[in-house]
Amino acid sequence: MELRDVPDIVRLHRADLSQGFFVELGERFLTRYYRTFLTSPAAVALIAELGDELAGFLVGCTDVRVHRRHVVKLERWRLARAGAASLLLRPDLTARFVRTRAQRYARGIRAADTTEGTARRTGVLNHIAVHRALRRCRVGSALVSGFVDIAKVHGVEQLVLQAEQGNEAAHRLYADLGWKRGAPVRDTEGKAWTPFALDL
């Protein structure tokens, strides 16, 4: 992924991953968010193209602690400014943010300065999206396999992700690629997710 790809990625995210809180924060926030995957030393940002057109993308990281520290230390104020405009214009969104995310984000900022140690090196697949017309063309498989190969080169011991609980197509994709399904979990807003993990 390159900087010039970010507008197309934001559009695809808003079209195909439209239920998330980040989408509600708007295009400016999503643009800044995806740029963090181009600057972080632990990030992986892949695209698939058909001709000159974006077919799909994947973003993740090879070390969740390193990526979090990068975002907190170098990008947090840019992200905060990008999100603040949406929050100021939408009191309902601000109330939801305070109720479900503010404390967790504050804890994450503090933890970014202190998380070291001998825990397993874990990578995260944060987002993947493929244009609807190309979803049976193995674009998603190629993106996930590319991410796994990069993670192995970087010494990652385990990869994790969370898929929407009802997204059976995604669940089949990960299962077919060897990821192990975990017990469903709920996020701070009550939405159900199915975790997957892959030991490398």
Domain containing residue 51: CATH number: 3.40.630.30
Q: What is the per-residue pLDDT across 112-137, written as a single tens digit (0 to 9) for each?
A: 444 444 467 899 999 999 998 888 88
Q: How far apart are CA 46 and CA 9, in angstroms?
A: 10
Question: What pLDDT is recorded for position 110?
Answer: 44
User: What's the full length of the chain, in residues?
Assistant: 200
Q: Is 184 helix (H, G, I), strand (E, B) or coil?
A: coil
Q: Which residues contact 45 (CB under 8 A, 6 or more apart)?
A: 1, 34, 37, 38, 57, 58, 59
Indicate the number of domains in the chain: 1
Compute CA distances 104 → 50, 110, 134, whole Å. 39, 10, 36
Q: Which residues, other chains included, contact 188 with Cβ-Cβ below 8 Å and sequence gap of 6+?
A: 100, 101, 104
Range(s) of the domain holding residue 177: 3-199
Beta bridge partners of 45: 59
Contact 48, 130 (CB under 8 A): yes
What whole-number distance in Å separates Cα of residue 9 and Cα of residue 129? 9
Tokens of 46: 């892949």
pTM above 0.85, yes or no: no
Q: Name the band, by pLDDT with cuts 50, 70 and 90, for residue 91.
A: low
Helices 139-153, 168-176: axis angle to 10 degrees equals: 50
